[in-house]
A and B are shown apart, each in its own frame.
Chain A
Amino acid sequence: MHTLAVKLATADGRVLTPVAPADSPLAIRGLTVSYGEKPAVFSVDATFAPEAMTAIIGPNGAGKSTLLKAALGIVPRVSGDVTVFGRPLAAARSRIAYVPQRASVDWDFPTTVIDVVLMGMYRRLGLLGRLRPSHRETARACLERVGMADFADRQIGQLSGGQQQRVFLARALAQSADLYLLDEPFAGVDAATERAIIDVLKALNAERKAVVCVHHDLATVDSYFDHVFLINVRKIAEGPVATTFTSAHLQATYGGRLAMAHIEQLNIADHAS
């Protein structure tokens, strides 16, 4: 499968990226995912840059979320292999924190904000490990980082969308991982939450952690991220924002769906130079 993927990539005329997979926090080779017969992600190679803030960009139905979910084994892959920090996924799970889309859970579930954050530590606690006061303190500190410390004992159903997103982020922080994968963290949140989330992500990045976000707002790519990964079922391009987030690549990603005028509005032409 692996060599076939490389052959296909070469046949497509794509150049394999210069980042060595062993150095990459998340390297994907020849990933194909299919719901039924129609591939959602087809033969995608990705080598996310170390210690970078990367946005996964593409139109609706382009397989952005599916790429992340398949990389983590949440949805089954037809083919492809995944390495995390140069090791197989199963051996490196503890280094990954995943923030799913808010809509993926039932918010009437009987649990409180702090309990959700503590879920981030279940893996470290094991099946029978005792929950100690130190774990609660860590959980509170994570809530503090996302500005939700006053809400620790609330039932999660009483939160707004933005607050729910912050709780999910706090749960990921509690894992103290090295790679953060977020699925549309800014979708449907208020401006204050968006700022709080991006501040936390930038702080993580400053601690040399890798952050990968499925992102839909082209206008903020430049200010939030330093790398982009463009996908529309197949990979279009990946690399630093300055050289990769170009109008030509966007045109290739969105096709007719993104008018030239819109691309010009984004004011990205000067990045290419």
Chain B
Amino acid sequence: MTALLDALLLGAGYNAALVAIGASLLGFAAGASGTFLFLRKRALVSDAVAHATLPGVGLAFIAMVALGGDGRNLVGLLAGSAVTAVIGLLAVEWITARTRLAEDSAIGAVLSVFFGIGIVLLTVIQSMAQGRQAGLEGFLLGSTAGMLFQDAVVIAVGGSLAVAATYVLRRPMTLVAFDAEYARAAGVNVRHMDLAMMGLVTAVTVIGLKLVGLVLIVAMLIIPAVTARFWSERSEHVVWSAGLVGAVSGYTGAALSASAPALPTGPIIVLVCAGLFVFSLFFAPARGVLAAMLRFWRFQRRVHLRQGLLALARAEPIHDAFTLRVLRQKGLIRADGVATEAGRAQAAKTARDEHRWAIAREVHQDTALTGRYDGLTPIEAVFTRDEIAEFDRRIGGPTMVASGGPG
């Protein structure tokens, strides 16, 4: 426990502190930029991009060794991975645009082919004299052992640039994610914006290779976004809370793995992130599962209340025990089942709103609205004033004719 506390307070040694700071920066960049991918419903393209980095890592190593340098130079390896990642991304885009294949098929094809090539290259490198200690397989699942200061600098600079670009492009990216047709009509180049979005994700993937690895980086791009979505109904908030979720996961995960020997950093970061997701899934205030259950229970009560009030309005006997209990708790009936003053007034209002709702359902063939029909939500909260006036006009119409014509 003290080991974990030490790690959380950056007291577990120089290397652990570097890793923790790097991981939180990476987490923030991945969470924020990944949100747009999630909102654009293209989250899985990032998986293809991530797997397409592997051949680049291998090729860059071979090239650097062939040129007589140190094959393990991180900047060189990352540059190589970026090149094949972009090729993979363009391959997905090209297949989707030029053939009848859907994007998911294109992702599957590109992901497996590039990953296959990458594994072949790694095997070839294993047989090279300089290849044995290369440690390139660390790029698969991340490896923080022996992380250097310059590696942390790469992550810090790259991550900050990605966050800055996300900030600058947030408006056009939101527009494209929400309504691509409108964005195009407003003069936004949707294709360029999609490429920018994917370019950001590629950059985050590449700088995250060392820490989290290409297999799991997709988790850092997507899980923070879906976690943040539970907490907000506004895209701007979702973007920055996703960054926060990513940063907290990165920092905590890195500290956890530093506090005990043989805990792999990347997977632990992802598990922390998944923990936040599961927590949000159940406990988020509006969109969480528990909130939904609570809402349903309240809804059920309201339905019973409405049934009871309608029965009172029509002077029908009430037999349902739950209904009677609800009415009694609200002080609408006395213990002997007779309506109170308040009960009679509410019953009359309910009967009138019931009339308006009946008209509303005739006018709006819309389940999104009729689903909100529970007899207690004030009708004014669902419909605009002119809409309600329209309902009342329809209710009033025949009565006026019956009582001697309009005027």
Contact = CB atoms under 8 A, between A and B. Distances in A.
Interface of A: 69, 72-74, 90, 93-94, 96, 98, 100, 104-106, 109-112, 115-116, 119, 122-123, 125, 127-128, 147-148, 150-151, 155, 157-163, 171, 175, 181, 188, 190-193, 195-196
Contacts of B366: 160-162
Interface of B: 39, 41, 168-169, 171-172, 174-175, 177-179, 181-182, 184-187, 229, 232-238, 363-366, 368-369, 372, 384-387, 390
A74 B181 contact: yes
Nearest to B233: A155
B283 to A, nearest CB: 18
B384 A110 contact: no
A181 B184 CA distance: 13
B184 A127 contact: no
B168 A192 contact: no
Contacts of B181: 69, 74, 98, 100, 104
A98 B180 CA distance: 12
Contacts of A73: 184-185
Contacts of A162: 364, 366
B93 to A, nearest CB: 15
B178 A105 contact: yes
Contacts of B384: 147-148, 150-151, 163, 192
Contacts of A123: 186-187
A210 to B, nearest CB: 15
B169 A122 contact: no
Q: Which 6 A-B pairs have the closest CB atoms?
A: A98-B185, A93-B187, A155-B233, A72-B185, A192-B390, A160-B369
Given A110-B234, A111-B235, A98 B386 contact: no
Contact of B171 (A98, A127, A147): A127
B235 A109 contact: yes
Contacts of B233: 110-112, 155
B172 A158 contact: no
B332 to A, nearest CB: 28
A127 B168 contact: yes
Among B169, B175, B178, B185, chain A packs the most CB atoms within 10 A around the CB of B185
Contacts of A159: 368
A72 B368 contact: no
B48 to A, nearest CB: 22
B368 A110 contact: no
A196 B364 contact: no
A110 B386 contact: no
A154 to B, nearest CB: 9
A122 B187 CA distance: 11
A151 to B, nearest CB: 7
Contacts of A109: 39, 177-178, 235
A127 B188 CA distance: 11
Contacts of B174: 111, 119
Nearest to A191: B363
